[in-house]
Amino acid sequence: GESVGLHLPTLSVQEGDNSIINCAYSNSASDYFIWYKQESGKGPQFIIDIRSNMDKRQGQRVTVLLNKTVKHLSLQIAATQPGDSAVYFCAQTGANNLFFGTGTRLTVIP
């Protein structure tokens, strides 16, 4: 079956540093990918998305990179702030579904 996973379950970064959160996926036919942020006690919040005809997309302080050759997706957060502490998970489209990863918990150290 399809799977979406992240490379690390936890990540700690110093405030002000850049963060990179990785995600691997199995379905080479997926054409749409999304990153979500989930803070404690809240639901997943949409951060940024990317379609398979692109390899990079930038938002405010965030960049998503897509490498279809190795089926790898990453989220880069510039100048990480305490408010960025949360669980981040990726999602990819399948045939008739959206598959979610289990998440990476990002902790920002002041």
Q: Interface residues with other proteins (CB under 8 A)? A: 4, 31-32, 34, 36, 41-46, 49, 51, 89, 93-94, 96-102
Q: In the complex with other proteins, which residue's Cβ is closer, 101 or 106?
A: 101
- Identify the DSSP state of 55: S
Question: At closest approach, how far in Å is the CB of 15 from other proteins?
Answer: 26
Q: In the complex with other proteins, which residue's Cβ is closer, 62 or 94?
A: 94
Question: At closest approach, how far in Å is the CB of 56 from other proteins?
Answer: 18
| Buried/exposed code over 59-84 (b: 16+ C-beta within 10 A; e: otherwise) | eeebbbbbeeeebebbbbbeebeeeb
Q: In the complex with other proteins, which residue's Cβ is closer, 9 or 82?
A: 9
Going through the chain in order, the beta strands assigned E by DSSP cover 4-6, 10-14, 19-25, 32-38, 45-51, 56-58, 62-67, 72-77, 86-93, 98-100, 104-109
Question: At closest approach, how far in Å is the CB of 104 from other proteins?
Answer: 13
